[in-house]
Structure formats: C-alpha cells, structure tokens
Structure 1
Amino acid sequence: MTDHIIIEQPAAHPGVQSIRFNRPEKKNAITRAMYGAMTDALKAANADPDIRATALLGTEGCFSAGNDMNDFLAAAMGGGVIQEILDFLYALVKAEKPVVSGVDGLAIGIGTTMHLHCDLTIASDRSQFRTPFVDLALVPEAASSLVAPHLMGHQRAFSLLAAGEAFSAAEARDAGLIWKVVEPAEVDALTLATAARLAAKPPEALRIARDLIRGDRDEIIARIDEEARHFSARLKSAEARAAFEAFMRR
C-alpha cells in the first residue's frame, strides 16, 4: 500500500469508490506502488456489489505528471517493462463498472491517456493535456495509438501523441477526449456526483449498455501489449537514455 493513493467510499456518494492521487509535491507522478494500489482498487470494485462506479481524482492544480522518472530510469537500466503499469492498464480496460475521472491542471503522459478508457471525464478550464512520448524517444502507450485516432481522427491524434502538442481543456473536449469543462472548484464535486448518478442506475442494464458502447476489449489489450513491446525496446535505447538525461538536467 502507499499513502500516495487515497481510496475511499465517500458516505455522501453511495455506491462510489474514489481513487485519488496524493503526491502533490511530485505533481502526482505515478510510482510502481501507486499503480499497484490503483489496480487493486479497480479489481476490488469488480468484486464488490456495493461499489457501482469509480471516480479517479487528482489534487488541486494537478491530475498527474505521468510516470515517475526514477522508475523509468530504473526500467531503462533493467528489463525495460514496468509490469505494474501494464497491470493497471489491463484493470482499467477490464473495469466492469463505470469509471469517471476529474482533472484539474496538469495531465501528462499516462495522466492523459488513461482518460481514453474512462466513461466520462470532467476537467477544469485550466487543465492541460499533453503526451511527450516522442520527445523522450518513446512511443504512445495505453492503446492510445488505437483509441485516439478512432476517437478524434488522425490529425488530432497525431498532434497529441506524436507531435506532443498540448491540448487545452476546450480542445480536449472538442476532440472527444473529455466530456465537460467546468471551473476548478467544481471538478471534484461534479465528478463524484456524476459517479453517484451512475451508481444509482440499474446495474445490469448499465453494464450491458456500457459493454455495447465500449466494444471489444481484446483488441485494446492486444494494442497495449504491442505498444509495450516497442516502449520497452525504446526505454533501453541510447536515444531514450540521452532524452532522459537531458530531462533530468532541466
């Protein structure tokens, strides 16, 4: 377990489990232990009939800066694959109940791509979504190379995932990455209230509707694995090592 992830079932929102990043001093950069805690929470929601929806939240001004760089450097020195990341992505894709996310501020790397697998995302008007994969000599992850072009078209997906262009909240909404843009002070309350409304719906009907809308998860899992093979190889490359060293010197 880790104190950097807070998991609760708020009494004011029956049927909802909240998963909150709690590492603001590091801009909620996600460590292996944090991934493990989130994976366990998502799997627990599948098994618990009292949990009917999950809310993913960050802290004020920051959702997540993405993967912890120390973990990345360690992976580059070792086998290259960070299994905890893959386990989290599998759990998110296979979540049997709705997942609603709330973003205020920075959403970088996987802090952006995880929303492709959420059912509804609410973001503050000061949020920024960016995936600097290629800038770090890496490749897209989380099946973003499959889901994003389908969702937003080639040019928007390319600008986000390959060119590394930042999307404002309004641009992310227009691209279909997020659902709604609100004031920063509204993000948490509206995210939890939205999850609670979903939790109150007939669960079996909602499950079937959600499965029909989301479609084949096997194709998504296969793309996650394909991206991971490339990602692992890139992590061990001289090009990536130089990019990481330059990043750490900033």
Structure 2
Amino acid sequence: MSDDHILVEHPETHPGVMVIRFNRPEKKNAITTAMYVRMTQALHEAANHQAVRVVAFLGTEGCFSAGNDLGDFLNFALKEGGGPPAAFEFLQALATIEKPLVSGVDGLAIGIGTTLNLHCDMTVASSRSLFRTPFVDLALVPEAGSSLLMPRVMGHQRAFAMLVAGESISAEAACAAGLIWKVVEPEAVEKETLALAYSLAKKPPHALKITRNLMKGNGDALLARMDEELVHFTAQLRSAEARAAFEAFMRR
C-alpha cells in the first residue's frame, strides 16, 4: 500500500487543526489495515500535540469512504489467532480523544464511513452524499459503538433501518435525523468543514474541553459496547457465512 492513502496535514498548514484525509479514490477510499494504523498514529499525535486543537476528517471528491477493504478483512479472517483488527485500535482512539472532531463528507459514506461520523461533533455533508451501514448484509455486526450511538441519535426505527435492514439514507435525511450537522453543495464541503474547524480551534480550549466532556458524558458505556461489538464482530468475521458474503461481494 502506498503511504499516501492517508494524508495527514498538520497545524503548520491549517492553524490549530490536524486534517486526516482519505486518499485512495481508485478504491473509493476503502480502508486497509495500514490506513487504520496511520490514522491511529495521527489521532494519538493530535491528542498529545498542544498546537492541535481540532481534528478534521475529509475524503476525496465524490467519496468519503466505502468502508473497510473487504479483501483486507478476508485476509484477516483467514489468519489463525492474532489480536483484534487494526480498526479497533483506531476506533478506541476516535472514541477517547478529548479534542473536537469534525468531518466533511462528499458522496459515499459506507460502513465505518458512516459510523465514524457518530464520533464527530459536527459533520458537513454534500447534497449528493449517501450513508449506509451494510453490516448484516455482510454477515457482520455493527462496530464503532454504533449499536449504542445510532439509536440514541436517530431513534430505534431509523437506526434499525440502517444497521439491520441496510437501508441507505440521503444527506438531507441524515441531517433531519441528527446524524450530521449541515448539508451543502459538493464544492463547498471542504471549505465549510475547515471553516468549522478553524472556528472551534480559536475558542478557549479549556472551556471547550469541559463543555464537550459534559455533553458526551461518561464514556464507559460506549467503550464497554465497543468491546462487546468487537467480540461478536471478530467471531462473525471468521464465520463461514461472512466468508461466503465477502466472496460473493467480491465476485460482483
């Protein structure tokens, strides 16, 4: 994998802001193990870097992320033993960072391309964006704490439609459901997202941190749910039905 599939832009370029950008457009920004490792490193760096006050996630034109790279997942499933998928360490870093997270979505946001935004404080999406979480269709289960967060945000029925029925929702529907903050035209996504990030980065950092923590509340329940999801996710990932679902998808 090329090292440039995840681009990390530092506060020298964006004052007060670290930008983490998906950059694998030829594969619709499907996320590999190496990409998860790089994003985890970036989040740890952001957490410990005083100059970074906000983290912003961006994709490429017409695609935020098509989710996990299924070939990568299939390789993981075929391995015996080993630790959890690299995605889990990234998700833990995402759930525990104490700095504001914003995201800019244009086009496809599939699987973790959707659930990542549940951890963001503000998400801007283009009018052509599409959100979908086809976990059950792939014989998997929700991740990123989405089985807890999505019903909280959207209510049981809409969350069930996405997480279980695999229904897609538009940017407008996602905004109405509280999944995202704002819908703009495609050419305005990056500008609006960075404007949000710059605005947050200029606010008094301690007051911002306290307020964000008060709003998010105790994170123990979220981390416990992520651990529970991981047990089921890993078991399903190595199951015969998941392997069959992956192989069928990759033959399309």
TM-score band, normalised by shorter chain:
over 0.9
Counterpart position of 2:61:
60
Letter in 2 for 1:147: L
After superposition, the C-alpha distances for 1:139-171 in whole angstroms (9 at most, x for unaligned) are 111100001111111000000100000010011
Deviation at 1:2, TM superposition (A): 2.2
Counterpart position of 2:47:
46
Counterpart position of 2:210:
208
Deviation at 1:9, TM superposition (A): 2.3
Counterpart position of 2:7:
6
1:11 and 1:190 map into 2 onto residues whose CA distance is 19
Q: Percent identity?
A: 65
Q: How has the CA–CA distance of structure 1 residues 81 and 148 changed in structure 2, closer, same or farther, with 3 Å as cutoff? A: farther
The answer (yes or no) to whether the contact 2:40–2:93 under 8 Å persists in 1 is yes
Moved more, 150-159 or 79-88: 79-88
Counterpart position of 2:223:
221
Counterpart position of 2:119:
117
TM-score by length of 2: 0.96
Counterpart position of 2:26:
25
Moved more, 33-42 or 200-209: 33-42
Deviation at 1:83, TM superposition (A): 3.0
Counterpart position of 2:86:
84
Deviation at 1:12, TM superposition (A): 6.2
Deviation at 1:14, TM superposition (A): 1.3
Letter in 2 for 1:113: T
1:27 and 1:76 map into 2 onto residues whose CA distance is 22
Root-mean-square deviation over aligned CA pairs: 1.3
Letter in 1 for 2:230: A
Which blocks of at least 5 consecutive residues in structure 2 are unaligned? none
The answer (yes or no) to whether the contact 1:54–1:98 under 8 Å persists in 2 is yes
The answer (yes or no) to whether the contact 1:80–1:233 under 8 Å persists in 2 is no
Moved more, 211-220 or 20-29: 211-220
The answer (yes or no) to whether the contact 1:104–1:124 under 8 Å persists in 2 is yes
2:85 and 2:135 map into 1 onto residues whose CA distance is 18
After superposition, the C-alpha distances for 1:40-65 in whole angstroms (9 at most, x for unaligned) are 11111111111100110000000000
Deviation at 1:81, TM superposition (A): 5.8
The answer (yes or no) to whether the contact 2:11–2:51 under 8 Å persists in 1 is no
Q: 1:184 aligns with which of 176, 183, 186?
A: 186
1:81 and 1:215 map into 2 onto residues whose CA distance is 29
The answer (yes or no) to whether the contact 1:169–1:181 under 8 Å persists in 2 is yes
The answer (yes or no) to whether the contact 1:101–1:122 under 8 Å persists in 2 is yes
Q: How has the CA–CA distance of structure 1 residues 93 and 199 changed in structure 2, closer, same or farther, with 3 Å as cutoff? A: same
Letter in 1 for 2:32: T
State the SS of the aligned residue for 1:3: helix
Deviation at 1:68, TM superposition (A): 0.8
Deviation at 1:75, TM superposition (A): 1.6
Letter in 1 for 2:30: A
Letter in 1 for 2:133: T
Counterpart position of 1:162:
164
TM-score by length of 1: 0.97
Deviation at 1:97, TM superposition (A): 0.6
State the SS of the aligned residue for 1:207: helix
After superposition, the C-alpha distances for 1:48-96 in whole angstroms (9 at most, x for unaligned) are 1111001100000000000011111012212486431111001111111
State the SS of the aligned residue for 1:100: strand
Moved more, 205-214 or 228-237: 228-237
Counterpart position of 1:102:
104
The answer (yes or no) to whether the contact 2:58–2:190 under 8 Å persists in 1 is yes
Letter in 2 for 1:239: E
